[in-house]
Amino acid sequence: MPTAPEGAEPAPTVELSTHGVGPWPGGPEAWPDEPHLDPELLERGDTRNVIDRYRYWRMDAIVADLDQHRHPFHVAIENWQHDMNIGSIVRSANAFAADTVHIVGRRRWNKRGAMVTDRYQHVVHHATIDDLVQWARGEGLRIIAIDNVDGSVLLETTRLPSAACSCSVRRALASATRRWPRPT
């Protein structure tokens, strides 16, 4: 896999930042011909906020590679008053290689908090809590409602399944999940 050539200078890209690498030296005839590489990034440089392994890669190739290493857990959050924490949840889920982030409620959320990780992390919207619960049931995933209400158990003393959907949401989800039988 090629790495950024020594001496490559940063150049403007869609995700311009102050870091990165410049165009691949030597022009098109010197470019590697690997299918996951993006000719535009090879030509103009790659200043995206990605780890070096993904320099010059096409975005869909990065997602496909990440998909090979994701963990089987899902994360869900309710968007009930244009929640400003959704971006940080997406960012954290991406950092821990979660399978998918599920947003319940309004489709609209402030993506700036995700710091572009929403481009690499699978994000699915569900109109209602019941829709999320029904989806999880169909996938055979347990929903684990995380809250600090009476009757809650300590996370650090509980064995959690690796393939589950963890939800840090309002009490409505905990109530909805009780109405559904657990997957077998």
pLDDT of residue 49: 87
Calculate the alpha carbon distances from 141 to 57, 89, 146 in Å.
33, 20, 15
pLDDT of residue 41: 97
Tell me how many domains the chain contains.
Answer: 2
Q: How far apart are CA 106 and CA 46, in angstroms?
A: 34
pLDDT of residue 73: 96
Residue 63 and residue 129 share a domain: no
Q: Which residues of the chain have pLDDT under 50?
A: 184
Helix spans in 30-85 (H): 39-44, 59-67
Q: What angle do CA 24, 27, 40 make, to 5 degrees?
A: 60
Evaluated on CA atoms 173, 94, 108, 64, the torsion sign reads negative
Residue 80 and residue 65 share a domain: no
The range of the structural domain enclosing residue 156 comes to 74-178
pLDDT of residue 156: 87
Residue 136 and residue 84 share a domain: yes
pLDDT of residue 112: 87
Residue 85 and residue 52 share a domain: no
pLDDT of residue 79: 82
pLDDT of residue 174: 55
pLDDT of residue 176: 57
